[in-house]
Structure 1
Amino acid sequence: MSSKKHTILIAGASGVVGMAATEYFASLPDWQVMALSRRPVSLPDGVVHVPVDLCDLTACESAAANLTGVTHVLFAALYELPELVAGWRDPRQMAVNEAMLKNLLDTLTPKAKGLRHITILQGTKAYGGHVEPAPVPAKERWPRHWHENFYWLQEDLLRTRQPESSWTFSILRPQLVLGYAVSSPMNIVPAIGAYAALMREMGQPLNFPGGGRCVNAASDSRLIAQAAHFTATHEIAANETYNVVNGDTLVWHDIWGSIAQKFGMQAGPSVPMALASEMPKHEALWQKVVQKHGLRNLSLEQLIGSSWQFTDRSLAFGLAHPANAVLSPIKLHQHGFHGCMDTEDALIYWIERMQQNGLLPR
């Protein structure tokens, strides 16, 4: 039995948000952390790994017997189809993401009698930005966007069960999450880092591979973890939805020079390139980079996965005049959370973390 005041179960602990949250909550003296993931993951001292596939109801039932002391849940698990953008509107993907949360709730809540709070994640797709341009800045008080997505399925599941439960919930909506993960479907950091390394190996400057200028924003995964701590421990956050973004704005063209400098390169001009189709062609060259710099022996597919697709979209490849996209953090600040991050510094921080861990070359 843990002597800690709180026990948090972080589902999806191998992902970008899950890894940052695991590190953050493990650093707090009153929190016992249980990290749930399908695949093995490197964990801080004292964190208990719960190896479970949330799509497997029987496995969830078996695991729940050891989760009776859980007081809080951060649900950061995510299922994405290989065709990333198309999958966002695919009924199969929606059904799997709904089922993962349902399986956890069905098996955990009867066992964890002390469960007090659940936090789930949504994102900018809640405002329909992948369907049509969203007004700027996007605000939580707006009605739901009309398109179908798994966000609404998961949210409705919580809202239906919460009135008869002892727990409350919160919903966090980050934008363009920056963090550390391997083979994540939506992590721009290793994709940009590997692109830079390959261009450097070919003797090229760091050309900008995306589209036209637009105002954007991002969310450091460490900030999301801090916001999850706030929502888990403040009554005002009960059953509320919050945008959680760094607080500044992002124009990729204007910080591209900082990224180039981090790899000892010159920033080049805009040379549009579909990274998802072009970068996998350079696997042999990547292996040369791996050997040359003593990196961990991972292929581009193992390191980056479908994040090439996500990066193309994030950098507005193929769009001469992309729409601006910014979420308002005002509600979260008004309710008492005042965390913020410098996006340029955050991006460099996570590049350095991946360099230190032998995933990207210095």
Structure 2
Amino acid sequence: MTRKTLLVAGATGIVGAAALEHFSAQGDWDVVALSRRAIPPAPRVRHVALDLTDATACQRSAGAFEGVTHLLYTALYEKPDLVAGWRDAQQMEVNLAMLRHLLDALALGAPQLRHIGILQGTKAYGLHHTQVPVPAKERWPRAPHDVFYWHQEDLLRERQAGAAWTFTVLRPQIILGHAVSSPMNVIGAIGAYASIQRELGRPLCFPGGGRYVHAGSDSRLIARAAEFAATHAVAANETYNVVNGDMLVWQDVWPAIAAHFGMAVGEPTPLRLAEEMPRHEATWQRLVQHHDLQPLTLAQLLGSSWQFTDRTFGHGLETPLDRIVSPIKLYQAGFNGCEDTEDALIHWLARMQQSRLLPA
């Protein structure tokens, strides 16, 4: 059995954490976790503490990447104002520089590098600001808007000239998993919102806008898709949408979420979570004390996730735009993974409870 070594950049994020768990459980992979923050010890996982925005530090760390054969790049820089940052030139430049600094270090320290997997998202299609044809497909030309994905992908194509490695772009939609301080942790936001409402004796009211159809991407599924891309020649220099395989309408899974918390479903009650929920810090701290949770504030736990969840829930929109992408290309390539989105939501809520991040 040929051993492979995966470097996971952004190891404390939602996808990075799922990748560590998945690849370290496989018998033929060793894993190097790259992040600024520490990670829990795990078998066959070695941690490299590194700030990818620091070019000098990356150069000095090149030796830490000896033996790396594969890279999964999930590192991300977001501004505190999450949505405004998506069109911010400085945000794009920082994300580009982070990848460039790591590629420079790998060119020095990892001559055996064979494959790079990199995460994008459905902002590639413009789904975050406009109606696009249904379903969105990878073969379309680039959407006419600036996003850091294009800068990173162009850099990869430039660096690939004369190199021995290939790369694969993975495009999930609403990522389901958990990670502390992630700016887009809808699971954590739902769980904290439900826990606070329950503590206040209220039913679980859906706080968003009108119904619309989109999809979830379980982080465990993304990790499996990343392994497929890393180990199958058909995926070389390709782009794949990675979604669970079913559809998601928040109002239709809301009863299952309420049942998980032992709550009644209330009438839909529009609420801008990013404005309202920080006001409940005292209630949250009461829950932290009573349930012996990890001693985190809402801001420390969720980052900008309230704002992301408002957008995901279609807050303020009577008829949000459907956001549907096609998973067919990935299936046709030979990947057969799928997840039930309702089950995934409950799984990750339970995982956050087991990790003492949410009250049971």
TM-score range, shorter-chain basis? over 0.9
Shift of 1:133: 1.4
Q: 2:70 aligns with which of 48, 69, 72?
A: 72
SS of alignment partner, residue 66 of structure 1: helix
Shift of 1:43: 3.9
Task: Say which is worse superposed, 63-72 or 141-150, in terms of deviation.
Answer: 63-72
Superposed, 1:1-362 pairs within 5 Å as: 5-362=3-360
Percent identity over the alignment?
Answer: 62
Q: Which amino acid aligns with 2:210?
A: G
Alpha-carbon separation, structure 2, partners of 1:266 and 1:44: 39
Q: Answer yes or no: is the 8 Å Cα contact 2:48–2:64 preserved in 1.
A: no
Residue 117 to residue 139, structure 1, CA distance change in 2 (3 Å): same
Moved over 4 A (4+): none
Q: Answer yes or no: is the 8 Å Cα contact 2:270–2:316 preserved in 1.
A: yes
Two-structure CA RMSD over aligned residues (Å): 0.9
Pairs aligned (count) = 360
Structure 2 unaligned regions, length at least 5: none
SS of alignment partner, residue 295 of structure 1: coil
Task: Say which is worse superposed, 55-64 or 77-86, in terms of deviation.
Answer: 55-64
Q: Answer yes or no: is the 8 Å Cα contact 1:26–1:33 preserved in 2.
A: yes
Q: Answer yes or no: is the 8 Å Cα contact 1:4–1:32 preserved in 2.
A: no
Q: Which amino acid aligns with 1:305?
A: G
Residue 43 to residue 319, structure 1, CA distance change in 2 (3 Å): farther
Shift of 1:356: 0.5
Structure 1 unaligned regions, length at least 5: none
Alpha-carbon separation, structure 2, partners of 1:355 and 1:314: 22
Q: Answer yes or no: is the 8 Å Cα contact 1:55–1:103 preserved in 2.
A: yes
Shift of 1:4: 6.4
Task: Say which is worse superposed, 269-278 or 38-47, in terms of deviation.
Answer: 38-47
SS of alignment partner, residue 57 of structure 2: helix
Q: Answer yes or no: is the 8 Å Cα contact 1:186–1:306 preserved in 2.
A: yes
TM-score by length of 2: 0.99
Q: Answer yes or no: is the 8 Å Cα contact 1:136–1:326 preserved in 2.
A: yes
SS of alignment partner, residue 173 of structure 1: strand
Q: Answer yes or no: is the 8 Å Cα contact 2:213–2:249 preserved in 1.
A: yes
Q: Answer yes or no: is the 8 Å Cα contact 2:33–2:48 preserved in 1.
A: yes
Instruction: Give CA deviations for 1:170-214 in whole Å, capped at 9, x if unaligned.
Output: 000000000010010011011000000110111100000000000
Instruction: Give CA deviations for 1:237-273 in whole Å, capped at 9, x if unaligned.
Output: 0000000000000000000000000000011111000
TM-score by length of 1: 0.98
SS of alignment partner, residue 195 of structure 2: helix
